Amino acid sequence: MKHREQLILQAGFSGANNIQKLYWEAASAFSILLAPTGSGKTLAFLVRAEEAGAFPLLIISPTRELALQLVQNCRKILPERTVAACYGGHSVENEENQLKNNPQIVVATPGRLADHTERRTIVLKEFRQLIIDEYDKLLELGFRESTDAVIAASDWQNIQLSSATVLPDFDTKFRSFNWKTINLLDEQQPDIDFYQLFVEDDSEKAEMLLDFLIKFRNERVLVFCSHREACERISDRLHEAGIGSAIYHGGLRQSERERAFIKFNRQSERLLVCTDLAARGLDLPQVDIVIHYQPAKDEATTTHRNGRTGRSGKHGNAVYFTNADYQLSLPLADSLKPNETIHYPDNVTLFCKAGRKQKMRKSDFIGFLCKEIGIPGDAICGVDIFDDHSYVTMKRSVFKKNNSELRQFKLKKERLQFHVCY
């Protein structure tokens, strides 16, 4: 078994953060970790799971997107462990084939987990460890009964549960597990400045946003709307003005949300126009500005929106577009100025119809691009592989030079094409 320090370095970090250290010191076999989103809980949980050594491990995730991120983190942090992903939006049969190989880690959303338990392709009593990620988000989405049923369904040796809010009645419901609550919600306060922009006439609001985004052209920005129609309108207006953006809301197909998420995370787009579906359940690194274009439905959602910026020790900004009579009970900063020192890469994300079913690996794409096409390794910014498709992100300047060679190519006897994700 690898030492804790090796696992941290393997995950790409130079050392553990304060929340991870405090969790490891305090954790018991049955722990409730209360900590902010984006505080490194996944690494903390997986390192402890590896040290406990009680596999197989089941991880429950509230959303498909978060499940996919958890799978990627599992493969990165614990590459020697086999991992299966179970979530809606793709073939159950393909998942069944993965499960037949007895993976050591299974990451599942509640709905798909219920499907597999009914089919007997997942037998809960065979698992020894359970991680429940963002339990409060599971409650919000209506998965209390199904998640609690999983907790009650097996003689777990180890359960680790995370939440970004206090759970007043949880430990009393499952008293037999002797829960230990580790409250670190105040341990890592985000460094956020708050600003208020007054909108005199709602008909001018979109143009005010446009002017703001042009001024802050270097920053990575989330624009939050209260409904999907507003997202579409804003995205269309930005497109008319020649400003690129990704869009993320519940009215999109899973594949469209997946593409938007990857483009933003891989820095092919610096703007993400979204509903509160993106306020939680996604790992969105390095957001410089959160814009409340329309107000959130409640204070908790507002807090989750703001929690998207000022993470991991970085400074963040939250900007409220409001009417003049709207009073914010926040300490407001004077004026927000563009950060001229920010220089994010200009990337492009490409789509390819080949994935794990075709036995594709990251090394296959990287090897082909570097050896066959001659693209420098440091120009490849990321490879994301799914069941039947993949995304490759590279520097836009390099893509332009090699565009013709990427239109059609052969890899592992497959004739493939790269398409730009617009």
**Candidate ranges 178-192, 260-274, 297-311, 395-409; pick with highest mean pLDDT:** 260-274
Single-letter residue type at 189: Q
Q: What is the CATH number of the domain that holds 393?
A: 3.30.70.330
What does the pLDDT read at residue 243? 92
Q: What is the CATH number of the domain that holds 47?
A: 3.40.50.300
**Candidate ranges 48-52, 254-258, 346-350; pick with highest mean pLDDT:** 346-350
What does the pLDDT read at residue 254? 87
Mean pLDDT of 127-131: 94
Whether the bond between 103 and the residue before it is cis, its omega within 30 degrees of 0, is no
* 41 and 96 inside one domain: yes
What does the pLDDT read at residue 190? 76
Domain boundary among 155, 183, 211: 183
* 231 and 364 inside one domain: no
* 8 and 150 inside one domain: yes
* 39 and 69 inside one domain: yes
Segment 79-98, tens digit of pLDDT: 899 999 999 877 888 899 89
Q: Alpha-carbon distance 218 to 238, whole Å?
A: 15
Residue 330 in any domain: the answer is no
- Higher pLDDT: 6 or 237? It is 237
Mean pLDDT of 398-421: 88
* 221 and 132 inside one domain: no
Q: Alpha-carbon distance 23 to 20, whole Å?
A: 5
Mean pLDDT of 173-195: 83
- Higher pLDDT: 383 or 413? It is 383
Q: Alpha-carbon distance 238 to 421, whole Å?
A: 17
**Would the pLDDT of 1 be above 60?**
no
Residue 332 in any domain: the answer is no
* 11 and 154 inside one domain: yes
DSSP string, 184-241: -TTTS--EEEEEEEE-S-GGGHHHHHHHHHHHT-SS-EEEE-SSHHHHHHHHHHHHHT
* 22 and 110 inside one domain: yes
Whether the bond between 56 and the residue before it is cis, its omega within 30 degrees of 0, is yes
- Higher pLDDT: 174 or 347? It is 347
Single-letter residue type at 203: S
Evaluate the CA torsion angle 211, 277, 132, 87 in order and state its sign: negative
Q: Alpha-carbon distance 224 to 65, whole Å?
A: 18
Residue 139 in any domain: the answer is yes
Segment 15-69, tens digit of pLDDT: 888 889 999 999 999 999 998 877 788 899 999 999 888 899 999 999 888 898 8
DSSP string, 60-106: E-SSHHHHHHHHHHHHHH-TTS-EEEE-TTS-HHHHHHHHHT--SEE
**Would the pLDDT of 330 be above 90?**
no
Confidence of residue 2 (pLDDT cuts 50, 70, 90): low
User: Is the pTM higher than 0.85?
Assistant: no
Domain boundary among 136, 166, 183: 183
* 310 and 290 inside one domain: yes
Domain boundary among 183, 207, 224: 183
**Would the pLDDT of 139 be above 90?**
no
- Which range has the worst mean pLDDT, 144-158, 234-248, 366-380? 144-158
Confidence of residue 201 (pLDDT cuts 50, 70, 90): confident
The owner of tokens 């039947």 is 388
CB 232 within 8 A of CB 201: no
* 131 and 258 inside one domain: no
Residue 341 in any domain: the answer is no
What does the pLDDT read at residue 171? 62
Q: Alpha-carbon distance 75 to 99, whole Å?
A: 16
Instruction: Identify each DSSP E strand in 35-88 by its residue range.
Output: 57-60, 83-86
* 303 and 156 inside one domain: no
**Structural domain span for residue 86:** 1-183
What does the pLDDT read at residue 141? 86
Number of helical H runs and strand E runs in the chain: 15, 19
Residue 149 in any domain: the answer is yes
What does the pLDDT read at residue 309? 92
Residue 339 in any domain: the answer is no
Residue 356 in any domain: the answer is yes
Number of domains in the chain: 3
* 127 and 203 inside one domain: no
Residue 340 in any domain: the answer is no
Segment 407-416, tens digit of pLDDT: 888 888 888 8
- Higher pLDDT: 125 or 409? It is 125
* 218 and 316 inside one domain: yes
Single-letter residue type at 142: G
- Which range has the worst mean pLDDT, 99-103, 223-227, 321-325? 321-325
pLDDT more than 90, % of the chain:
55
Q: Alpha-carbon distance 291 to 252, whole Å?
A: 21
Q: Distance of CA 120 to CAs 55, 99, 125, 344, Å? A: 19, 11, 11, 47
Mean pLDDT across the chain? 89
Confidence of residue 283 (pLDDT cuts 50, 70, 90): confident
Confidence of residue 172 (pLDDT cuts 50, 70, 90): low
Strand partners, 274: 224, 248
**Would the pLDDT of 273 be above 80?**
yes
Q: Alpha-carbon distance 15 to 354, whole Å?
A: 36
Q: Alpha-carbon distance 188 to 171, whole Å?
A: 24
